Amino acid sequence: MAESRRTPSAHLLIFPYPAQGHMLPLLDFAHLLSSRGFTITIVVTPANYPLLSPLLSKSPSIQTLVLPFPSSSLLPPGIENAKGLPVPQFAYLFHLLRALHDPLLAWIRCQTTPVSTIISDFFLGWTQPLAVELGIPRIVFSPSGILGSAVTHSLFRRMPKRPDLNDDDYPVDFPSIPNSPVYPWRQLSRLFRSYVEGDEVSESLKQNFLWNLESWGIVSNTFRALEGPYLERPIEDLGWKRVWAVGPLAPKGSAADRGGRNRMSEAEVTTWLDAFPEASVVYVSFGSQAALSPPLAATIAAALEKSGAPFVWAEAQGTAAIPEDLADRTVGRGLVIRGWAPQVAILHHPAVGSFLTHCGWNSVLEAVAAGVAMLTWPLTADQFVNARLVENEAPRGVRAWEGLSSVPDPDELARVVSESLGESGKELRERVKDLSRKSTDAVNQNGSSHADLEELVQELLKLL
């Protein structure tokens, strides 16, 4: 997006949820606002402060507020809900982070340049009553697509139930969302499926999303060519709020050490990929959170071996799930990266033709921006919603498998991989290249996302 410098004015407090997938797009958004002259303070916990380094190097005027992560002693003993089931890590963290209310309130009240607006992740709903207490507006930042965000908020707004607690295929419909999507129970967010009425953490989680519906507006990391039907008018399940679609915020080209120190440099990966023809390599990554079981990893390895396709497999957690001898079995055409990988650079390399992905929203947008077809393998959270969007509504992807509890046929998975890179996958690759061009147009001058950003800037200036 083109920069439009303005004299410093409003002081914006930006609060990302302290997880890489949530922080990175909001930090990219903070850079856009900083380039337009706003005074910005970013709230961060000590462990995640290093993630700010790339942003601070290009936006030195941005200030940081480092607050210690709350102690887990603030919760009752044991991370279990009222039914004795494990509480999802995200829900547990939601609840703990509410303890930052008082220190954040104290800091804001002592500022000589008053904070005029809070922009916080949709997992930080408790900043809405904080904003009300201060008499300032709060804007929700959605690192997910607007469809995924609407589905999640709808669940906690309507609280649907299944008649048979053992029926994981029970269809749950969303009549207030355009196109009235329907998803089986098993594909709904685990955050919602683990809810237990009256449980402290569960109720805190529910309230988090209900507070978002009281916000001043929503900023989403999406764009109209990708999610047009969900941006045409306000959605009831998002509190009828105005949505500014400012994406894709995924950076173009090089993004060295974005999200962490790369286990392998961009130069090393690029040199390896240079040896292969255009659109001949499949990139495999299941994001920064998923931990594959050894049997599942072995099946993927067998499929890659059977496919005959060159591949790059990045395993962000650096676990030993990927078979140790895979690189030897596929010497010359297989590259395994055990740790953080330069994903943006990999996807933008001409040799990469398809992406076996869990369909986290950042990965979806990075694939779209790079013009790479997706082989979808959703696992949890909003990933099933994202996968359905990519497969049926975009469509720029095909389903490879789903979930972590079952293992696919390696021969069938090998076929999917091979076809994505062969002649039969050419039409799909052309469609995603077309969407890539539209994503670039969206953030350029006169594009839809550029226009939404400029409109938001003007609205923020009116709040002074």
Residues labelled catalytic: 22, 121
CA angle 117–158–358, rounded 5-degree value: 75
Kindly report the backbone phi and psi dihedral angles of residue 40, in degrees, each rounded to the nearest multiple of 5, phi listed first: -130, 135
Kindly report the backbone phi and psi dihedral angles of residue 273, in degrees, each rounded to the nearest multiple of 5, phi listed first: -70, -25
Kindly report the backbone phi and psi dihedral angles of residue 24, in degrees, each rounded to the nearest multiple of 5, phi listed first: -60, -50
Kindly report the backbone phi and psi dihedral angles of residue 60, in degrees, each rounded to the nearest multiple of 5, phi listed first: -65, -15
Of the candidates 354, 298, 347, 351, which has an alpha carbon nearest to the alpha carbon of residue 326? 298
Residue 372: strand, helix, or coil: coil
Concatenate the DSSP letters of all residues of 402-423 into one string: --SSS---HHHHHHHHHHHHSG
Q: Distance between CA 342 and CA 295 in Å, rounded?
A: 26
Kindly report the backbone phi and psi dihedral angles of residue 289, in degrees, each rounded to the nearest multiple of 5, phi listed first: -110, -35
Tokens of 399: 């389903």
Residue type at 352 in one-letter notation: V
> Residue with structure tokens 């390399």?
349
Residue type at 290 in one-letter notation: A
User: Is the peptide bond preceding residue 251 cis, with omega within 30 degrees of 0?
Assistant: no
Task: Answer yes or no: are the C-beta atoms of 373 and 355 closer than 8 Å.
Answer: yes
Task: Answer yes or no: are the C-beta atoms of 151 and 174 closer than 8 Å.
Answer: yes
Tokens of 290: 């998923």
Task: Answer yes or no: are the C-beta atoms of 216 and 139 closer than 8 Å.
Answer: yes
Concatenate the DSSP letters of all residues of 278-300 into one string: TT-EEEEE-TTT----HHHHHHH
Task: Answer yes or no: are the C-beta atoms of 310 and 282 closer than 8 Å.
Answer: yes
Q: Distance between CA 399 and CA 387 in Å, rounded?
A: 8
Q: Can you point out the beta strands (E) in 20-107?
A: 39-44, 63-66
Q: Distance between CA 116 and CA 462 in Å, rounded?
A: 10
Write b or e for each residue in 238-247: b if 16 or more Cβ atoms lie within 10 A of its Cβ, otherwise e.
bbebbbbbbb
Residue 334: strand, helix, or coil: strand
